[in-house]
Amino acid sequence: MSRLEIVAVAVTVLSIWLTARRNLWCWPLGLVACALYFKLFLDVRLYADMVLQALFGVAILYGWIAWARGRRSDGAERPVDASIAVVPLPPQRAVVWLLAGALGAGVIGWGTSRYTDAALPWLDATLSSFSLVAQLWTARRHAANWLLWIAVDAVYVGMFVFKGLWLTAGLYALLCVLAVLGWRRWTAQRER
């Protein structure tokens, strides 16, 4: 466990906690967490997750802009400090995005298994690809993002234990709990 991992975990927990509360500050903290984990994953040869952090940075900028617009589901303006409205995810669109995640996993896995010395190319690629789908769903304010995060984060726990990143494994176990809380908060808001 390095200082880098400790700081990355702390910043990530705060960012996810703020996301579950639908607080706009989740996005800038998420950018910091991505930068920290980019370096950590480079150090342990989890290249797909390293690149994922860079892609998360782009997705975070998108989410930050989308949330900052402060629009309710009815299109009316909201104050910037208000909670962000939840948007339903149609089942057909969910299936398309999940298929895109599977395709992305195949492409990334093939590339990292063939052209790098990645430690766990196929598992890393699959988790990275579906994390991108979950991040997009978060940015678009779909409550279903939390269900996908629960599944992805649970598998990440095992991968990080295998890689000896015990603190990060603990973080992802905590992220599963935060995702359950996020799911409950977001679905309760959606039902109002």
Domain ranges for the chain, please list them: 3-70+91-190
19-26, long-range: CB within 8 Å, 24+ apart, which pairs?
19/138, 19/182, 20/178, 20/179, 20/181, 20/182, 20/185, 20/186, 21/83, 21/185, 22/83, 22/84, 22/86, 22/185, 22/186, 22/189, 23/83, 24/64, 24/67, 24/68, 24/80, 24/81, 24/84
Q: Model's pTM, two decimal places?
A: 0.78
Asked whether residue 59 carries a pLDDT value surpassing 70, the answer given is: yes
Length of the chain counted residue by residue: 192
Confidence of residue 83 (pLDDT cuts 50, 70, 90): low
Mean pLDDT of the chain: 87
pLDDT digits (tens, 9 = 90+) for 29-43: 999 999 999 999 999
Confidence of residue 77 (pLDDT cuts 50, 70, 90): very low
> Encoding tokens for residue 156?
């990440």
CA distance 113 to 166: 24
pLDDT digits (tens, 9 = 90+) for 100-141: 999 999 999 999 999 989 889 999 999 999 999 998 898 888
